[in-house]
Amino acid sequence: MVDEEILMPALSPTMEEGGLAKWLIKPGDFVKAGDIIAEIETDKAIMEFEATSDCKIKSLLVEEGATQIKVNTPIIALEIENSQKLSASMKTAKITSEPKRVETKGPTKKTEIKKPSSKKEEVMTVRESIRDAITEEMRIDESVFLIGEEVGEYQGAYKVSQGLLEEFGMGRVIDTPITEHGFTGLAAGAAFAGLRPIVEFMTFNFSMQAMDQIINTCAKTLYMSGGQMNCPIVLRGPNGAASQVAAQHSQDFAPWFSSVPGLKVVQPFSASDAKGLLKTAIRDPNPVIFLENEMLYNDPLASSNVDEELVPFGKARILRQGSDVTLISYGIGVKHALQATILAEEKGISIELIDLRSLRPLDYASIFSSVKKTNRCITIEECFPVCSIGNHLSASIMENIFDYLDAPVINCTGKDVPMPYAKNLETAALITVDEILTAIKKVLNHS
């Protein structure tokens, strides 16, 4: 027997540290090759960690629940016969119960499932809620399918599609070549034929390769066909800045897509809204851009209780009631706004916080009602400052309720530069909580 130390593995290209979510073994246990011994939390997913050879667990070097464990830190000591080490493996997540398949006579027939007796479920991450929304809609409607790069065998670049290939097979969970223009066009054609495709972009930066299909095919066909051809397609994936993935993988395209007639655009913050909005999107007869954020997939602040209710488009959520300043945001901007709100309220400032959720259509009524009450408004987002969502909201507020403003609307955004790779420069390029607090002080002190 040879003593070995197993190091914290790097399970994604951007992973620098991780957490030990759960140990499935204890010292003294004998494990065989293929046995799952731990669940490792990365910056993108919780992945199973398995043995590649028979060995004995000598000791566990980190406690269950430990976080911020640097890559290459020893986590297990073991005794092994042939000095082969353990390796990470992303195994298929098991569905807890075998679903009943819905019988359908045609590809577009839909059967509603019964809601559970209790609305509230366990706290879920954004990643889990998106996966569950796709799974549930695929179970009740056989016309729904998932298509994209690495959505099947690899279970999604960010593990959103874990378990789907195992349950639904290659006919409905389709791995594609690296050609966004190609598989988006294929999915659009399927939508015209009566199916309901969900297209996953590994990042929305890559959707630029499919812009002709998204804009000229998906968004415009209903209008150009005189209402005769619907395109019930969902285009989803991570949007905006991640962590040191540089300019070509970090842009926020929310304003781009929101400017296009024929598209519906949503970007949720919480797990509850992510599930409710995605289920609404899949059932919608029109093309929907569903923007996610990689940094929220496993964020505790975005995790929430998730019920079975659909979330309608065009309806914002009032996260906090207040009287001094209205903060308006969406997606990961809501996280920054929440943090700023807590600090502002400690200083006696009453904040009304609006999570837009839906960017096209927008809930103008809720926005105008809030600004009429507080008389001050700040918009918060990570996109570029020019032609941002906040720019449009500022113009709409000025045109409709200008007389209620006691200060100019301030737009807090990312900086007007391509996203740097260096961590310190990346941080400087993004919106910060301190910048939001400065904006709050400015609108309150305006004379």
CATH for 252: 3.40.50.970
Catalytic site residue from 50, 137, 142, 249: 249
My answer on whether 296 and 321 are in the same domain is: no
State the angle between helix axes of 433-444 and 333-346 in degrees (0 to 180), rounded to the nearest 10. Answer: 50
My answer on whether 294 and 357 are in the same domain is: no
Q: Is 237 helix (H, G, I), strand (E, B) or coil?
A: strand
d(CA 204, CA 240): 8
Catalytic site residue from 48, 136, 137, 180: 180
Q: How confident is the model at residue 245 (pLDDT cuts 50, 70, 90)?
A: confident
State the angle between helix axes of 389-401 and 364-374 in degrees (0 to 180), rounded to the nearest 10. Answer: 70
28 assigned to some structural domain: yes
d(CA 248, CA 41): 26
180 assigned to active site: yes
Q: How far, in Å, are 234, 371, 427 from residue 376 at the CA level?
A: 36, 6, 27
- Residue that the structure tokens 């929907």 belong to: 288
240 assigned to some structural domain: yes
d(CA 253, CA 203): 11
Residue 315 has pLDDT above 80, yes or no: yes
d(CA 443, CA 324): 10
Q: What's the pTM value of the predicted model, to 2 decimals? A: 0.78
Centroid of chain to Cα 24: 28
State the residue range of the domain holding 424: 317-444
Q: How confident is the model at residue 86 (pLDDT cuts 50, 70, 90)?
A: very low
222 assigned to some structural domain: yes
- What pLDDT is attached to residue 107? 37
Return the percentage of the chain with pLDDT > 90, whole number: 67
d(CA 298, CA 113): 28
- What pLDDT is attached to residue 52? 61
Q: What would the pLDDT profile of 417-439 be if each residue is shown by its tens digit? A: 999 999 899 999 999 999 999 99
Instruction: Print burial letters for 347-359: b (CB count within 10 Å at least 16), e (below 16).
Output: eebebbbbbbbbb
d(CA 374, CA 446): 14
Q: What would the pLDDT profile of 258-310 be if each residue is shown by its tens digit? A: 999 999 999 999 999 999 999 999 999 999 999 999 999 988 899 988 887 89
- Residue that the structure tokens 């919106």 belong to: 431
Residue 349 has pLDDT above 90, yes or no: yes
Domain count, the chain: 3
My answer on whether 327 and 297 are in the same domain is: no
My answer on whether 166 and 247 are in the same domain is: yes
HSE-CB for 251 with a 13 A CA cutoff: 16
Single residue among 34, 62, 88 that ends a domain in this structure: 88
Backbone phi, then psi, for 129, in 5-degree steps?
-70, -35
Q: What would the pLDDT profile of 355-396 be if each residue is shown by its tens digit? A: 999 999 999 999 999 999 999 999 999 999 999 999 999 999
Q: What would the pLDDT profile of 135-165 be if each residue is shown by its tens digit? A: 999 999 999 999 999 999 999 988 899 999 9
Q: How confident is the model at residue 51 (pLDDT cuts 50, 70, 90)?
A: confident
245 assigned to some structural domain: yes
Q: How confident is the model at residue 37 (pLDDT cuts 50, 70, 90)?
A: confident
- What pLDDT is attached to residue 31? 85
446 assigned to active site: no
